[in-house]
Amino acid sequence: MRKIYLEDTPLQEAQEQIKQRIHFSPQVEWIPTREALGRVTAEPIYAKVSMPNFHASAMDGIAVRAEATYGADEQHPVRLKRDSDYVEVDTGDPIPAGYDAVIMVEHIHQVDEKTVEILESVAPWQHIRPIGEDVVAGEVIVPDRHRLRPVDLGALLAGGNVTVPVLRKPRVAIIPTGTELIEPREQVAEGEIIEFNGTVFAAYLQEWGAEPVYLGIVEDDYGKIRDALKAAVQDADMVLLNAGSSAGREDFTVHVVEELGEVLTHGVATRPGKPVVVGVVEEKPVIGLPGYPVSAYLNMEWFARLLVNHYYGLVEPERQRLSVTMGRRIVSVMGAEDFIRLTVGCIDGTYIANPLTRSAGVTMSMVRADGLLRIPPGHLGYEQGETAEVELFRSPEEIRRTIVATGSHDLAMDVLHSLLRKANPGRFLVSSHVGSMGGILAIQKGEAHVAGVHLFDPDTGTYNLPYLEKYLRDQDYVLVQLVYRQQGWLVPKGNPQGIQSVRDLTKPGITYMNRQRGAGTRLLFDYLLAQEGLQREQIYGYTREAVSHLSVAAAVAGGTADAGLGIFSAAAAMDLDFVPVAEERYDLLFSGSFFRSEEGRELLACIRSPLFAQEVEALGGYSCRDSGTILYQSFSGCTSQT
């Protein structure tokens, strides 16, 4: 049954093809107006009554005949008598017959119980809301194919519409496929994968105004998938089949759709997201989504959201766009559209964007992304420093209020973010793991506010300063002590291989998990090798890299490595044993301008707070005895060391 892609269809062509092929005929239902938020109107809705339906006072005060006030000024005040010249009214009261203006209570002087004095005349109909000022009976309140907003509900009720005709929500069946899938639970055995895409699909569909129908996991069996699809199209307006859309031995989606209906597209010219199946079964659209999460989520937008809006007759929404400067080079290959997930930060007034991993299977890249860069076919990408327009997942205001952290990974940064949010809910901290050297270079290039660094210099036996003097010469920066932490060997429970020193890693059968180039932990490991006179080639797994301490711990916990060098808190998080090697200093490098800003002062206050020390030391393997100490500062070339 193996089958290669039918074609590399341009995305817009595939979208237009399914729109032209599918003609929805949504049913109409009447629902209470109070429950109609977000629903789409089936027809124009007219006002049944006017609002207000009488002449109403717009102010608290007195109703008068305007002509009785003419000539009133400070030199010639006019006195009015209750009942004959005026009546008291409150906001919203009907205006009695014979009166045609209202004087605000603040503009009258009470002479006695029945007499008031005014110093200014009023015009006819002043401060009076005439009949139909807001809504006039017979006028259109909202048109058809309109998604109802909170203000619309108020206008509809004001116009006497207690129920409204709306289009029935499209029912979208969700069928995850895969023998390895299990429903979400806390314990997962080897070879099992939690099925979470279905929940994401359902949430997206609800957000877009559809009714998701989760039909449960179907194993990789052609007959069972075919039967599930046949049943689904009987009840649903659209069907989503997840996984099995590519060209593997058990990728059955395209064949099932071919047997039961028509395949319009098998493969679009995008990266990621290529292996999608778009077809029709019994005049219902069927979308075969890739199993990789990022590919699946992008195809959800490209096809499922498109069809939901097509069902309602609505225009596809567009995200806010922002011009950004590329912090790193992004390479694209001709022939397909590239969709690059990015983090975006505002550094000294300039929006800087950096790419996240391009792997289609990394869900967290979508969680961490601030925006999406779309690179058209034929474009070779962007050089560092070039500008481009990105689609935003977060507002520019949120991005401006975000502290951009980079450099070495440490769990203390997560604690710092939590405390910062508690102190100022409008503040955010986003962190990317590029290693200590990458963090220093980010500060050098103006791509980050702060960077976590812990680079050991074997020549001086000190941390960080020799590297800052080399790479940040004549730049404005401040080095702040964050934590001391224990580095050691992360090993399985019981330390079955007896790892006690770096030399033990050279034993036959021992697999090591290293950190990426530029990481302080990797430099420490290289120092330990040199101290023992060992070569990198003697370490099996030296070239295998992880971008965080938790990733190293996960590799050891998962059995793909026997040991890795990392911090105690990572070992504790993965229930591993820990063999101490050294205590190191982990510092936070501030750009000078950020250090002197309000945001920088807030961050430093969090670092120096007793709560920071309490929560970090509770993780184990940390000491906050000097947290917040300024170790070194260089303002416009003038340096000082504490």
Query: CATH code at 296?
Result: 3.40.980.10
> Alpha-carbon Rg of the chain, whole angstroms?
34
CATH at residue 156: 3.90.105.10
Q: Between residues 285 and 432, which one has the greater pLDDT?
A: 285
Q: Could you give the CA distance from residue 302 to residue 314 in angstroms, rounded to a whole number?
A: 15
What are the b/e assignments for 612-639, b being 16+ CB within 10 Å? bbebbbebebbebeebbeebbbbeeeee
- Res 6: pLDDT: 59
On whether residue 427 sits in a domain, the answer given is no
Same domain, 213 and 297: yes
On whether residue 4 sits in a domain, the answer given is no
The mean pLDDT of 227-246, rounded to a whole number, is 94
Q: What whole-number percentage of the chain has pLDDT above 70?
A: 98
On whether residue 423 sits in a domain, the answer given is no
Q: Could you give the CA distance from residue 476 to residue 114 in angstroms, rounded to a whole number?
A: 76
Strand pairing category for 262-266 and 181-182: unpaired
CA-based nearest residue to 171, from 308, 282, 276: 308
Q: Is the pLDDT of residue 96 over 70?
A: yes
Q: Could you give the CA distance from residue 435 to residue 438 in angstroms, rounded to a whole number?
A: 5
Which of 238-247, 256-265, 328-337 reaches the highest mean pLDDT?
256-265
On whether residue 411 sits in a domain, the answer given is no
On whether residue 3 sits in a domain, the answer given is no
Same domain, 271 and 375: no
Same domain, 457 and 606: yes
Question: What does the pLDDT look like over 399-421, one tens digit per residue?
Answer: 999 999 999 888 899 999 999 99
Q: Could you give the CA distance from residue 449 to residue 360 in angstroms, rounded to a whole number?
A: 29
What are the b/e assignments for 94-121, b being 16+ CB within 10 Å? ebeeebbbbbeeeebeeeeeeebebeeb
On whether residue 415 sits in a domain, the answer given is no
How many structural domains does the chain have? 5
Same domain, 158 and 207: no
Q: Could you give the CA distance from residue 21 to residue 562 in angstroms, rounded to a whole number?
A: 55
CA-based nearest residue to 547, from 574, 526, 524, 518: 518
Q: Which domain holds residue 141?
A: 28-52+133-167
Question: What does the pLDDT look like over 103-113, one tens digit per residue?
Answer: 999 999 999 99
Same domain, 297 and 343: no
Predicted structure pTM score = 0.82
**Could you say which of 279, 312, 345 is where a domain stops?**
312
Where residue 641 falls among pLDDT bands split at 50, 70, 90? low
Q: Is the pLDDT of residue 611 over 60?
A: yes
3-state SS of 390-417? EEECCCHHHHHCEEEEEECCCHHHHHHH
CA-based nearest residue to 272, from 386, 378, 360: 360
- Res 637: pLDDT: 46
Specify whether the CB–CB gap between 59 and 88 falls below 8 A. Answer: no
Where residue 591 falls among pLDDT bands split at 50, 70, 90? very high
On whether residue 472 sits in a domain, the answer given is yes
- Res 642: pLDDT: 52
The mean pLDDT of 597-614, rounded to a whole number, is 96
Give the dihedral sign, CA 585/586/592/594: negative
Same domain, 508 and 584: yes
Question: What does the pLDDT look like over 138-158, one tens digit per residue?
Answer: 999 999 999 999 999 999 999
How many residues would you count in the chain?
642
Question: What does the pLDDT look like over 543-580, one tens digit per residue?
Answer: 999 988 899 999 999 999 999 999 998 999 999 999 99
Same domain, 471 and 588: yes
Q: Could you give the CA distance from residue 490 to residue 573 in angstroms, rounded to a whole number?
A: 11
Where residue 364 falls among pLDDT bands split at 50, 70, 90? confident
Q: Where do the H-state alpha helices sit in 143-185?
A: 150-158
**Could you say which of 129, 156, 181 is where a domain stops?**
129
Same domain, 533 and 474: yes
Specify whether the CB–CB gap between 412 and 584 falls below 8 A. Answer: no
- Res 5: pLDDT: 55
